[in-house]
Amino acid sequence: MTQALSAGASTPAFDRADPRAVRRAIRAGAFTDFTNHVARDFMQGNLVAVPAAYAEDFEAYCRANAQALPILGRSEPGVRAIPALADDLDIARDTGGYMVFRDGELVETPRDASAVWADDLVAFVLGCSFSFEAILQRAGVRLRHLDEGNVSAMYETARETTPVGPFGGKLIVSMRVLSPADAIRATLLSARYPQFHGAPVSLGLPGDLGIADLSHSYGGHGLTTLNPGELPVFWACGATGQNAVRNARLPLCITHHKAHMVVTDLPLPKD
Amino acid sequence: MTQALSAGASTPAFDRADPRAVRRAIRAGAFTDFTNHVARDFMQGNLVAVPAAYAEDFEAYCRANAQALPILGRSEPGVRAIPALADDLDIARDTGGYMVFRDGELVETPRDASAVWADDLVAFVLGCSFSFEAILQRAGVRLRHLDEGNVSAMYETARETTPVGPFGGKLIVSMRVLSPADAIRATLLSARYPQFHGAPVSLGLPGDLGIADLSHSYGGHGLTTLNPGELPVFWACGATGQNAVRNARLPLCITHHKAHMVVTDLPLPKD
């Protein structure tokens, strides 16, 4: 696999298809890449950890905006294990990068969050489009951003999410460039997986979501250029949760960083 | 209903929702409009009648191109009844307009085809997008061409159908202008009905199908203009069958004319 070769030159050998091996390599600092090319038969998730006092409101916010924020798992307050996702998971160490927000400001981006993890944090793991990307590729849909070793671009839209308590803000979407036939196939396939954002929310016309310029992605990364014969297709994105907790200016909040996702042992649906 | 009012000023009263009443009105010459606004809870179909010597090849051609040509019913040679579609159906009289081709040339467009119907003709009734339009509207998808009292536009594409015997030629598509959200919903809904052409074959980019200019529709009718915020969405169309029999230059062939479809007693799926 060219992807494994290009990413792995300086990384000790481990089984990149095995989620437990990937987590172990991340925890040991031996794997520091984005996770969209590893453990592809297993679900990955967004991480949002909030103080216990905000956990019920955040869960209600997720359920009110379930297309963006499908809940795969939730920890007990102060507990770093989420056995429903993986029996050896340490949510403060097994993600390849973290963002730490205090009062809504990003204060650090550690590789390991155990030093800043607080006793009352509740971690939420939210479904991620990396999971449906694997399903789309298996079905023969061409995802050019992956072929080019990139990630999908994200955008802040003009659409408001349904607010709950202190949580609200704009819907964030991920975008993939697809041929019309693949846009149709990707729509039909992704609709079957509400746990990974379901069907697209828009396609074809960035202005429909209030996106003025595809070249200005949220976070500044990802494939943003259309080739002739390609359409932009937009899915609700878990980054909507990061955006909401940042807007809420919580005293402390920890999320994953960029495309370093929580790698679980939950197998993707086979069909 | 504004549609019934605008169409019906000079038409005697009959139950426009009842397929049997619609057929009776057509047979009596009392209803001469397009059928996309009547009997909307029942399947409608394209008509293609070919000499018996060509019927097996035409059926195989339909099966090889089933997204465009889903077979709803087929008559016995020389028999004008198709009881599986409606127990009183006279296929030579109950369609509001016919095209008669001899050696591939259109020779007449009678309102009643019984005078030209030949003893060896086999009639095929093929699924029609009017059926899924009713389903889309029921689900709240806005079909602007219907709101404007128009029909969907059709286009000849650059895509070749799979040829069988003397039958072949380009895929014909129908086009509807939809918002991105409705394009997604229409894709998901129509995919559930392969008997009415299933999912779209393309969307967003007319050039993907080799369509250079949306304003030049096949047959010259239908809504061809995009408003801001609208996408063109393309479905395989039963007119592909008319095109194929014309190309085959059969000694005789009879089809329906424009949007005058075969109105059946088969109820649309409820879901």
Look at residue B37 in the predicted model and tell me its pLDDT: 87
Q: Could you give the ipTM of this predicted complex?
A: 0.86
| Structural domain contains residue A74 | yes
| Structural domain contains residue A271 | no
Condensed to tens digits (0 to 9), the pLDDT of residues B201-236 reads 999 999 999 999 999 999 888 999 999 999 999 999
| Structural domain contains residue A92 | yes
**In Å, how far are A29, A143, B122 from B80, measured between CA atoms?**
77, 51, 9
B252 and B230, same domain (yes or no): no
Token pair listed for B221 = 């009718």
B219 and B254, same domain (yes or no): no
High-pLDDT (> 90) share of chain A, %: 88
**Residues sharing a CB contact under 8 Å with residue A210, sequence separation 6 or more, in sequence order:** A157, A158, A159
B236 and B156, same domain (yes or no): yes
B136 and B233, same domain (yes or no): yes
A229 and A255, same domain (yes or no): no
Mean pLDDT over B52-70 rounds to: 98
CA distance A64 to A71: 11
CA distance A96 to A113: 10
Look at residue A10 in the predicted model and tell me its pLDDT: 54
Q: How many residues does chain A have?
A: 271
Scanning every residue of chain A, which has its alpha carbon at the shortest distance from the alpha carbon of B188? A188
Residues of chain A in contact with residue B187, where contact means CB-CB under 8 angstroms, are: 184, 187-188
A187 and A102, same domain (yes or no): no
Quick one: pLDDT band at residue B270, thresholds 50, 70, 90? confident
Quick one: pLDDT band at residue B3, thresholds 50, 70, 90? very low
3-state secondary structure of A195: helix
High-pLDDT (> 70) share of chain B, %: 95
Quick one: pLDDT band at residue A169, thresholds 50, 70, 90? very high
Q: What CATH number has the domain bearing residue A104?
A: 3.40.1640.10
High-pLDDT (> 90) share of chain B, %: 88
Mean pLDDT for chain A overall: 93
Q: Which of A141, A184, A201, A208 to probe by mutation at the B interface, max B CB count within 10 Å?
A: A184
Condensed to tens digits (0 to 9), the pLDDT of residues A117-127 reads 999 999 999 99
Which member of B179, B184, B203 has the closest CB to residue A199?
B184
Tell me the shortest Cα–Cα distance from B166 to chain A, in angstroms. 29
Quick one: pLDDT band at residue A1, thresholds 50, 70, 90? very low
Condensed to tens digits (0 to 9), the pLDDT of residues A250-267 reads 999 999 998 899 999 999
Residues of chain A in contact with residue B201, where contact means CB-CB under 8 angstroms, are: 181, 184
For residue B146, give its domain range. 130-240
Look at residue A219 in the predicted model and tell me its pLDDT: 83
Number of domains in chain B: 2
| Structural domain contains residue A90 | yes
Look at residue B271 in the predicted model and tell me its pLDDT: 65
Centre a 10 Å sphere on the Cβ of residue B107 and count the other Cβ atoms it contains: 11
Condensed to tens digits (0 to 9), the pLDDT of residues B112-157 reads 999 999 999 999 999 998 888 989 999 999 999 999 988 899 999 9
Scanning every residue of chain A, which has its alpha carbon at the shortest distance from the alpha carbon of B189? A188
Residues of chain A in contact with residue B229, where contact means CB-CB under 8 angstroms, are: 205, 207-208
Which member of B191, B201, B204 has the closest CB to residue A204?
B204
Mean pLDDT over B71-81 rounds to: 96
pLDDT exceeds 70 at position A8: no
Q: CB–CB of B188 and A199 under 8 A?
A: yes
CA distance B73 to B85: 7
B186 and B99, same domain (yes or no): no
Q: What CATH number has the domain bearing residue B220?
A: 3.30.2040.10
Look at residue B11 in the predicted model and tell me its pLDDT: 59
B147 and B96, same domain (yes or no): no
Condensed to tens digits (0 to 9), the pLDDT of residues B12-39 reads 689 999 999 999 999 999 999 999 889 9
B193 and B148, same domain (yes or no): yes
A121 and A249, same domain (yes or no): yes
- Do B52 and B121 meet the contact criterion of CB atoms below 8 Å apart? yes
| Structural domain contains residue A52 | yes
Look at residue A30 in the predicted model and tell me its pLDDT: 93
Residues of chain A in contact with residue B183, where contact means CB-CB under 8 angstroms, are: 203-204
B217 and B142, same domain (yes or no): yes
A20 and A152, same domain (yes or no): no
pLDDT exceeds 90 at position A93: yes
| Structural domain contains residue B62 | yes
| Structural domain contains residue B195 | yes
Quick one: pLDDT band at residue A11, thresholds 50, 70, 90? low
Mean pLDDT over B166-174 rounds to: 97
Q: Which of B175, B187, B188, B192 to probe by mutation at the A interface, max A CB count within 10 Å?
A: B187
To the nearest 10 degrees (0 to 180), the angle between helices B180-190 and A180-190 is: 70
| Structural domain contains residue B21 | no
